[in-house]
Amino acid sequence: MDLSLTPEQKLLQDSVARFAAEHYGKRKRSPSADPSDGFDRETWREIAALGWLGAGLEERNGGFGGGPVETMVIMEGAGKALMSEPLLATMVMATRLLVETGQSADDIAPLLAGDEIITAALADRATGTLTLARGGQGAVLSGREPLMPYGDAADRFILAAKAEEAGETVLISLPAQASGVSRKGFRTLDGWPAAALAFENTPVSEDEILARGQAADRAQSIAADHAIAALCAEAVGIAQGLFDRTLDYLKQREQFGQPIGRFQALQHRMADMFIALEEARSLMIMATMALTGPEGDSRQRTLSAARLGVLSRTLHIGREAIQLHGGMGMTEELPVGAGFRRLKTLDLIFGGEPPHLERVAATYRQ
Amino acid sequence: MDAAWTAEDEQFRREVRQFCAEHLPDSIREKVLASRPLARDDYMRWQDILAKRGWIAGFWPKEYGGCGWTPTQSYIFQEETSYAGAPWLLPFGVNYVGPVIYTFGSEAQKRRYLPGILSNEVFWCQGYSEPNAGSDLARLKTRAVREGDVYVVNGSKIWTTMAHWADWIFALVRTDPSAKPQEGISFLLIDLKSPGITIEPIKSIDGLHHFNQVFFSDVRVPVENRVGEENKGWTYAKFLLGHERVLSAEVGKAKRCLERIQQLARERGLTANARYRDRMAGFEIDVLALEWTTLRLLSAVMGGQSPGYEASILKLRGSTILQAMSEFAVDVLSADALPYQPELMLDRINVADEELTGTMGIVTEFLFQRAPTIWGGSNEIQRNIIAKHALGL
């Protein structure tokens, strides 16, 4: 057992931290207050050029032979800097869906190069509203996808639709410019970009279908496993950033003639935040290690447990960070509120807490 | 990063598991699993079994009679034995005073005291706290005045766990009252049969006798019983407290406790209750977080780092989680937890199936688990340590 990073993984960690410092170091405002901060295609290309998008992929898929630990390192660093590029939706979710549906390295290459932005929904309710029906020439897609991350900027979407006749799930990769697609962009709770998509008899060709039935369900389930571990890492990174900021603030902010960090009441709250952060990091590692083991119910249960534990702890840190910053924590001048908003967003995706709690708690029915 | 245990560690785990299955007496296991009070003989019998196998001080270096276990092996041993239902391996000799003696003691002290710990023949207790010096040990007042070859000790120690069963006590005493509070303290080994020592029981919240107050009245202790230098006892004490805190995570016990609660809930038809299941999920996640935090610490220690404030995290969380679970076990019992008269348990100390006393051990555990968040440096002290040493506040 060795839970430390390899020298290569440490280099990647440094590279993420350096990039974040260069691109996000001076940012004070939250993404919602500054539209240009929402998502920038040039930054995305730089990220791709650094090799992050393929860092967690095996070589046969066009990656660099890394795995879940590399993804964890990137997501944690990105979370710490509150980077708002589509890492979770594209690097993790869309890429994993493509890999698990057997797309070739050539098919995935444009995504990994940053040339094509492909996003996939994170809300875990995508199968409800989209239907794929027989049309005049072939299949046509109709319905709504109410919350597609980066929906306005994406070049391509991966969508889960229900096939009208067979009732099975169909995973579709569709260009954003396809006919009959309309999109309306908006910001989400975290200030990040998303769009509501509507499809009206959008033609879907056979080569745009990634998988059907069990293969589609399996790909979705595995992609969700990877996304949940990545989400844990992002949350830990955000919490680390909030924690560091709050600790600095306690050392600098003076009230009643001394730094507020001298007050034991605040020291103890900070110590509890520190413990919560360490425990969240432990559960993040548990989640990442689960991805190196066999697929299935047991792995999903472990990931759900990690997700619940990480978010309860990191959200605690988020709430405390605002409280200990006082009025300043409420403003968009500091990214404290933005971190909290992103944490709460992470808490609400993939079904929110209830299905994960149900999955872990079900064991205690016996 | 690799979460797999080595083949050697897996093999060691199987050995410990099999050893417990074959050698842990059923009568003792049943009592531990039911959280019923153990007699001195129960502890000693199990420790004799371990001593015979050479496992009572496995983490000690081989040159002092241990097995030279790695930190990982020590963890596996603690996890497996406590999960199997073995009694708490009393730490006073093996974990506390033993390492202080072989690290700081003289050759004569090593020869004299270590064999008795390894053979489980000498029962030690810890004399740290005093009536006005609990977590603030620098305030301790028990005086040791040197008269030629002896120290004359006067004062008293409190919360001395199992002193009424012990043969020897290791104590912090003030040898220089004019020095700064944390200096002027020495570390003495005292034979409890020495004239001038009286031990008074203190009944605890569970109605049982774990704690004592030990009084010293002109007790003459040979100078050769002082470990290390005079007035440097604080250094040795801190070393010992580090050992104490690493031990307190008790992941194996926590896992066993989860299973025990589930068994009680099953018997009472509570498993159909969604709120019950949610609480259990929450506890399980707490235990997983504790376990993986412990594994991270182990991995760092195996990589050559020495644990510092991390031990405070394990102490604080380990004690808090077990405390909360022990209370939840009582909640699950509901009104069945109300009959509680510990003498009934002690009268029939090996009878677990009595209707009245069958679940009293769970109540005992609930009450006694208020102690671990106070002892070994209260959890507030652990927060102070973290704030100071990890956060620089």
DSSP for A261-320, written as a single string: GG-HHHHHHHHHHHHHHHHHHHHHHHHHHHHTS--SHHHHHHHHHHHHHHHHHHHHHHHH
CB neighbours of B178 closer than 8 A, spacing ≥ 6?
B184
In chain B, the residue whose alpha carbon lies closest to the alpha carbon of A285 is B292
CA angle B304, B289, B386 (to 5 degrees): 60
Spatial separation of the C-alpha atoms in residues B46 and B40, rounded to whole Å: 10
B93–chain A nearest CA distance, Å: 30
Ramachandran area for residue B253 (φ above 0: left; ψ -120 to 50: alpha; else beta): alpha
B215–chain A nearest CA distance, Å: 35
The helix (run of H) or strand (run of E) holding residue A205 is: none
Chain A / chain B CB contacts < 8 angstroms: 137
Spatial separation of the C-alpha atoms in residues B108 and B116, rounded to whole Å: 14
**Known catalytic membership, residue B147:** no
Within 8 A of A303 by CB-CB distance, chain B residues are none
* CB under 8 A, 24+ apart: contacts of B299-308: B299/A1, B299/A2, B299/A3, B299/A4, B300/A3, B300/A4, B301/B71, B302/A1, B302/A2, B302/B70, B302/B71, B302/B72, B303/A2, B303/A4, B307/B242, B307/B246, B308/B389, B308/B390
Between chains, do B296 and A285 touch, taking CB under 8 Å as contact? yes
What's the sign of the alpha-carbon dihedral B268, B271, B276, B280?
positive
Spatial separation of the C-alpha atoms in residues A280 and B300, rounded to whole Å: 17
Question: What number of H helices and E strands is found in chain A?
Answer: 11, 10
In chain B, the residue whose alpha carbon lies closest to the alpha carbon of A269 is B383
B252–chain A nearest CA distance, Å: 17
Strands A131-134 and A156-163: parallel
CB B65 within 8 A of CB B115: yes
Confidence bin at A28 (pLDDT 50/70/90): very low
Spatial separation of the C-alpha atoms in residues B280 and A362, rounded to whole Å: 10
Q: Choose among B124, B116, B137, B119: nearest CA to B91.
A: B124
- The single residue listed with the structure tokens 């070994």 is B376
Read off the tokens for B339.
């009959």
What is the identity of the amino acid at A2? Answer: D
What average pLDDT does the segment A182-209 reach?
94
DSSP for B118-182, written as a single string: HTT-S-EEEE--BTTBSS-GGG---EEEEETTEEEEEEEEES-TTGGG-SEEEEEEES-TTS-TT
Confidence bin at A37 (pLDDT 50/70/90): very low
Between chains, do B387 and A270 touch, taking CB under 8 Å as contact? yes
CB B393 within 8 A of CB A274: no
What's the sign of the alpha-carbon dihedral A25, A31, A35, A37?
positive
DSSP for B297-360, written as a single string: HHHHHHTT---SHHHHHHHHHHHHHHHHHHHHHHHHHGGGG----HHHHHHTTT----TTTTTH
Question: What beta strand segments (E) does chain A contain?
Answer: 118-120, 131-134, 139-149, 156-163, 169-175, 181-187, 193-204, 209-212, 254-255, 258-259
In chain A, the residue whose alpha carbon lies closest to the alpha carbon of B5 is A1
Between chains, do A271 and B9 touch, taking CB under 8 Å as contact? no
pLDDT 10s digit of each residue in chain B, 393 long?
999 999 999 999 999 999 999 999 999 999 999 898 999 999 999 999 999 999 999 999 999 999 999 989 999 999 999 999 999 999 999 999 999 999 999 999 999 999 999 999 999 999 999 998 887 888 899 999 999 999 999 999 999 999 999 999 999 999 999 999 889 999 999 999 999 999 999 999 999 999 999 999 999 999 999 999 999 999 998 887 776 666 667 899 999 999 999 999 999 999 999 999 999 999 999 999 999 999 999 999 888 888 888 889 999 999 999 999 999 999 999 999 998 988 888 765 555 556 677 789 999 999 999 999 998 889 999 999 999 999 999
Ramachandran area for residue B250 (φ above 0: left; ψ -120 to 50: alpha; else beta): left
CB neighbours of B307 closer than 8 A, spacing ≥ 6?
B242, B246, B297, B300, B301
Within 8 A of A262 by CB-CB distance, chain B residues are 393
* Helix, coil or strand: residue B208: coil
- The single residue listed with the structure tokens 């509120």 is A337
Between chains, do B277 and A305 touch, taking CB under 8 Å as contact? no
Between chains, do A292 and B281 touch, taking CB under 8 Å as contact? no
